[in-house]
Structure 1
């Protein structure tokens, strides 16, 4: 899985936690502990999919455009990371007469596709609001 999904969820939860639900990319990057240009790349994806918008000028930044209660993690995963659960690898020498090597890639592709479907089913029940609740609960337990 790539880190875009984690950066996207973290950014959206951060924006949802702000009273005005707005922050600059530098503020978000500092909170995510990631380079601002990488955060801006992910924010661009989120903007394209309607989760956030931007306000130009003094006091501007990125703001949450979606409802945290309605933004499900499966949709965010689809926007940022679909297909990333499958590693890029090639198994065996398919030129040899070997039923394992010749069929392993196809079988593993199906396994990773099935695993991703299970992941999406789980993420469908989770929203940005629920993640924020968990973050706040974890803070209270400290």
Structure 2
């Protein structure tokens, strides 16, 4: 499974926000730190807000900050919420497909169970870790603007 850039940037945004817990950060600041488009980041922040990971405040002193403690945000939860699909093979999503596109090997093929087991193992690992677990102060120091400390 390969994560989309949307999920990658969502995780980067959450890690950045966890590194500056005492203040709001701006989308521009986060985008510059990671070298990504500010417009794209705004869409990601919107999704993170809908999912309850961040809160946003408009205005001069506004910005973005975590809505929960980093220890309460599970990596698996973020990936589930930001990935458009988490299935490994098309047979895992057969219920959603029109019958004309259904795999001719179903229901007798054993791959569906193997893919489901692999997917469960993948998320099992991600669910063991929180945002707090993946924070590395040495890395964050290089991303933060001058004058901001971790």
- Same topology, TM > 0.5: yes
Counterpart in the other structure of 2:66: 64
**Contact (CA 8 Å) 2:48, 2:54: kept in 1 or not?**
yes
After superposition, the CA RMSD in angstroms is: 2.9
Between the aligned partners of 1:49 and 1:33, the Cα distance in structure 2 is 24
Q: Flag the 1:113–1:36 CA change in 2: closer, same or farther, 3 A.
A: farther
Query: Which secondary structure does the structure 2 equivalent of 1:54 belong to?
Result: strand
Query: Which secondary structure does the structure 1 equivalent of 2:64 belong to?
Result: strand
Question: Could you tell me which of 22, 29, 49 is aligned with 2:51?
Answer: 49
Question: Could you tell me which of 82, 106, 121 is aligned with 1:118?
Answer: 121
Counterpart in the other structure of 1:76: 78
Deviation at 1:40, TM superposition (A): 1.3
CA deviation digits over 1:22-60, x for unaligned, max 9? 211111111222111211111111100111111111121
**Contact (CA 8 Å) 1:21, 1:64: kept in 2 or not?**
no
Q: Does 1:129 align with 2:129?
A: no
Superposition pairs of residues 22-41 of structure 1, within 5 angstroms: 22-41=24-43
**Contact (CA 8 Å) 2:77, 2:127: kept in 1 or not?**
yes
Q: Number of residues paired by the alignment?
A: 128
**Contact (CA 8 Å) 1:8, 1:42: kept in 2 or not?**
yes
Q: Flag the 1:121–1:137 CA change in 2: closer, same or farther, 3 A.
A: farther
Counterpart in the other structure of 1:98: none
Specify every segment of 5 or more residues in structure 2 that has no aligned partner in the other structure, as ranges: 91-102, 142-150
Superposition pairs of residues 79-98 of structure 1, within 5 angstroms: 79-81=81-83, 83-84=85-86, 86=88
Q: Flag the 1:23–1:107 CA change in 2: closer, same or farther, 3 A.
A: farther
Specify every segment of 5 or more residues in structure 1 that has no aligned partner in the other structure, as ranges: 89-100
- TM-score, normalised on structure 1? 0.74
- TM-score, normalised on structure 2? 0.71
